[in-house]
Amino acid sequence: MKRTKVAALLAAVAMAAVGCTSADEVGDRREAPVGPPMPKGAAEVSDLPAPGTDKSCGEPTASLRPDGPPPPPGDFATNTAMQRIHARGKLIVGVDQNTYQFGYRDPSTGQLQGFDIDMAKEIAKAIFGDPEAIQFKVLTSAQRVPAVKNGDVDLVVETMTINCERREDVEFSSVYYLAGQRVLVKEKSGFDGIRSLAGKKVCAAKGSTSIARIVNVDTDPRPVGIGVDGWTDCLVMLQQNQVDAVSTDDTILAGLRAQDPFTEVVGEPLANEPYGMAMSKESPEFTRFVNAVLEQLRTSGRWTQIYNLWLRDLLETPASPPPATYRP
């Protein structure tokens, strides 16, 4: 192999010396790429601002205080978002279909299910008295903020971290789940946390806080961020040896680990990721209403029920609902 390359090089030099053009012929011989392709939309990501540095909104998780318990289903004042949604007959919710145990498609039935899906159904139940009066729209991480801003969806419930950058565009509910960003690697890979991945390829969804945090880790060189559309695409790339690690919220990682027992979650959390439901800034009464429903879920034990159904076995720990903080 080496010898033929040298021969080809000599031939090229010789031909260049006698004034012949053979560059094309040598170029045509380049190796073809082999092996499986990268998932659609996968690309190297760089130059993202570090998340959470924007403190302009004060405490980002402080949401609008509810006006007491939610009204009974259907009993809404005119000109409120709840009344408009009730008149339409269904709540339109942006969710994921790729995050195991949060929002995913059951391959045997085609139905969407998970912790986020059940949370969204509780909001539908509070508006209509029927948890199934709901239409799901599958969104990638990067599509979440635009979908709320354009009014394509009433609500986004999709493992979405609350921060000041996003609060410029959308309103968040109080925190309904508290996660932390960690790292998923293959077993026996020798990596023990994000700082051991200097210069290595690390996967996360485009438009997530996770990817922004990966490319801002101050190792030398920094980890190389690979952005994808869906979280399971990260697992595909890890299984196909196209990335060295996946780094995002422990909840999502646990879902990936459950699908591949030859992986492990390592390292201390890089940061806390408080999840909120996102909705339009135009209707603060809707945010107050959603917060009232969440308050009820916390106190009634329903939150713990849903947690136990989807996440308890996955995360191997019991948990209680995160407390809400409010601004006026």
Q: Which residues bind other proteins (CB under 8 A)?
A: 15, 18, 20, 22, 25, 28-32, 34-37, 39-40, 90, 92, 97-100, 104-111, 134-140, 143, 230, 232-233, 235-236, 239, 256, 259-260
Q: Which is nearer to other proteins, 21 or 320 (CB)?
A: 21
Q: Which is nearer to other proteins, 202 or 238 (CB)?
A: 238
Taking the complex as a whole, the smallest distance from the CB of residue 263 to other proteins amounts, in Å, to 11
> Strand locations in 125-197, DSSP E?
134-138, 155-156, 171-172, 177-186
Taking the complex as a whole, the smallest distance from the CB of residue 114 to other proteins amounts, in Å, to 10
Nearest-angstrom CA–CA distance, 138 and 88? 20
Q: Give residue 139's identity as a one-letter amino acid code.
A: L
When computed from its CA atoms, the radius of gyration of the chain, rounded to whole angstroms, is: 24
Taking the complex as a whole, the smallest distance from the CB of residue 59 to other proteins amounts, in Å, to 33
Taking the complex as a whole, the smallest distance from the CB of residue 197 to other proteins amounts, in Å, to 22
Closest by alpha carbon to 51, among 220, 177, 215? 215
Task: For residue 240, give the 3-state DSSP assignment.
Answer: coil
Taking the complex as a whole, the smallest distance from the CB of residue 287 to other proteins amounts, in Å, to 23
Q: Which is nearer to other proteins, 169 or 260 (CB)?
A: 260
Q: Which is nearer to other proteins, 130 or 192 (CB)?
A: 130
Taking the complex as a whole, the smallest distance from the CB of residue 96 to other proteins amounts, in Å, to 10
What residues contact residue 237 under an 8 Å CB cut-off, 6+ apart?
Answer: 38, 39, 42, 203, 226, 228, 243
Taking the complex as a whole, the smallest distance from the CB of residue 35 to other proteins amounts, in Å, to 7
Element spanning 112, H or E: strand 112-113
Q: Which is nearer to other proteins, 95 or 183 (CB)?
A: 95
Contact 292, 69 (CB under 8 A): yes
Q: Which is nearer to other proteins, 34 or 87 (CB)?
A: 34
Q: Which is nearer to other proteins, 20 or 43 (CB)?
A: 20
Q: Which is nearer to other proteins, 63 or 97 (CB)?
A: 97
Taking the complex as a whole, the smallest distance from the CB of residue 12 to other proteins amounts, in Å, to 11
